């Protein structure tokens, strides 16, 4: 049974988060708390990869090194970023690469995320591209490597908790941010403050917390979290539970299309005579765009389209709503299926089993009863 500590000191100022791991601290948001257009900080999930860093400087004195395949290495403080680059604010989804892992059969390794390893906040900072252009990218600049101040769970101060990176084209997207604020407040320590990277649409592990260095490389990064099975999935489907020896793998990049039902809450009972209910939720699609969301109460035999609210900017989630007509009293399971503009839709069961349980985007379902 997972812990639900409303007043737990391990999660200060957090609302009902579900602890999946103590060290490193990992906590999931119950889906019914994801009913806001902008996810409040108190409801935002936590995913750490190592121990918490010790921060002794004032936030504006926090420094970031940009080096490697650049014309000139840059050491910039948070104050420099605020004062010398164009500030931007985007509302964007951040999602753990293992979100949905609990729905793989047989079980995959890692924290057993349900549907709540996701949130959509307003992130304020500067485009990483602007800072990289200031450093001057060489023709050999092909990939980034990210380093934070958090040490590995072993306690070894010279071993990073995680170090991942992205192709330079993703780093140069306008929405890839060096962020110092979340929902209009200074970035909380628990979310990587005073400075973190936000790489929207891709696994949250790329959005390095407590960011200290970005090393520009002439090849794909091979840091912790970039080799072996880490954030890699089979290029071609394999049988569930099969070994991956000799199997061709690829790095998980864009996250798959997904939808959640934030209302009603799973297990809601409606009074006798209820003929229609309101349903709402959110959908997102990695680098793609949500094209439609459909709902079913009969196991997918028929579907009802939901109304979509336009996103504020790219990588924002799409809030959706619908009214479902109920033919009679009894028990129903509401399923939500999002489809992106490329025609890719969520499955009832995850077909892409992989040993570490990445990229599961099975449909979210909630159960309701009428008249009992």
Rounded CA gap, 123 and 90, in Å? Answer: 6
Radius of gyration of the chain (CA): 21
Buried b / exposed e along 260-284 (16+ C-beta atoms within 10 A)? bbbbbeeeeebeeeeeebebbbbbb
Q: What is the pLDDT of residue 146?
A: 98
In 10 A of CB 238, how many CB atoms? 16
Place of tokens 């592990």: 205
In 10 A of CB 140, how many CB atoms? 12
- Is residue 78 very low, low, confident or very high in pLDDT (cuts 50, 70, 90)? very high
CATH class of 258-370: mainly beta
Yes or no: say if 304 and 324 are a contact pair by the CB < 8 Å rule: yes
Rounded CA gap, 260 and 285, in Å? Answer: 12
pLDDT in tens, 140-176: 999 999 999 999 988 888 889 999 999 999 999 999 9
pLDDT in tens, 245-260: 999 999 999 999 999 9
From-to residues of CATH 2.60.40.650 in the chain: 258-370
Bridge partner list, 305: 294
Total-model pTM: 0.95
Is residue 3 predicted with pLDDT exceeding 70? no
Rounded CA gap, 202 and 222, in Å? Answer: 18
Candidates 3.90.420.10, 3.30.1490.480, 1.10.30.50, 3.40.47.10; CATH matching 50-251: 3.90.420.10
From-to residues of CATH 3.90.420.10 in the chain: 50-251
Q: What is the pLDDT of residue 20?
A: 97
pLDDT in tens, 293-336: 999 999 999 999 999 999 999 999 999 999 999 999 999 999 99
């Amino acid at each position: 049974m997972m812990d639900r500590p409303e007043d737990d000191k391990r999660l200060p100022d957090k609302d009902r988060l579900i602890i999946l791991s103590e060290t490193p601290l990992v906590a999931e948001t119950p889906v019914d708390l994801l009913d806001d257009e902008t996810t409040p900080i108190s409801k935002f999930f936590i995913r750490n990869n190592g121990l918490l860093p010790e921060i002794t400087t004032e936030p504006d004195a926090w420094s970031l090194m940009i080096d490697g395949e650049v014309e000139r290495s840059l050491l910039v403080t948070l104050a420099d970023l605020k004062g010398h680059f164009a500030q931007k604010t985007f509302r964007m989804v951040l999602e753990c690469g293992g979100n949905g892992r609990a729905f793989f059969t047989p079980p995959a390794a890692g924290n057993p995320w349900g549907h709540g390893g996701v949130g959509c906040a307003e992130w304020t900072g500067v485009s990483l591209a602007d800072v990289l252009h200031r450093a001057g990218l060489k023709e050999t600049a092909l990939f980034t490597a990210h380093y934070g101040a958090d040490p590995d769970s072993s306690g070894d101060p010279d071993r990073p908790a995680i170090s991942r990176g992205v192709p330079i084209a993703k780093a140069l997207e306008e929405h890839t941010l060096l962020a110092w604020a979340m929902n209009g407040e200074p970035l909380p320590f628990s979310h990587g403050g005073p400075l973190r990277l936000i790489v929207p649409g891709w696994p949250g592990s790329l959005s390095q917390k407590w960011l200290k260095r970005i090393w520009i490389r002439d090849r794909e990064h091979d840091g912790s979290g970039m080799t072996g099975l880490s954030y890699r999935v089979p290029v071609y489907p394999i049988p569930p539970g099969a070994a991956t020896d000799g199997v061709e793998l690829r790095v998980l990049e864009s996250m798959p299309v997904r939808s959640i039902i934030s209302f009603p809450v799973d297990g809601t009972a409606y009074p006798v005579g209820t003929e229609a209910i309101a349903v709402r939720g959110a959908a997102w699609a990695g680098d793609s765009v949500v094209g439609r969301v459909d709902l079913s109460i009969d196991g997918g035999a028929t579907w009802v389209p939901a109304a979509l609210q336009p996103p504020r900017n790219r990588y924002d989630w799409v809030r959706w709503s619908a009214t479902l007509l109920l033919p009679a009293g009894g028990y129903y399971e509401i399923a939500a299926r999002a489809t992106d503009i490329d025609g890719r839709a969520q499955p009832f069961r995850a077909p892409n089993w992989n040993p570490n349980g990445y990229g599961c985007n099975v449909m979210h379902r909630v159960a309701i009863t009428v008249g009992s």
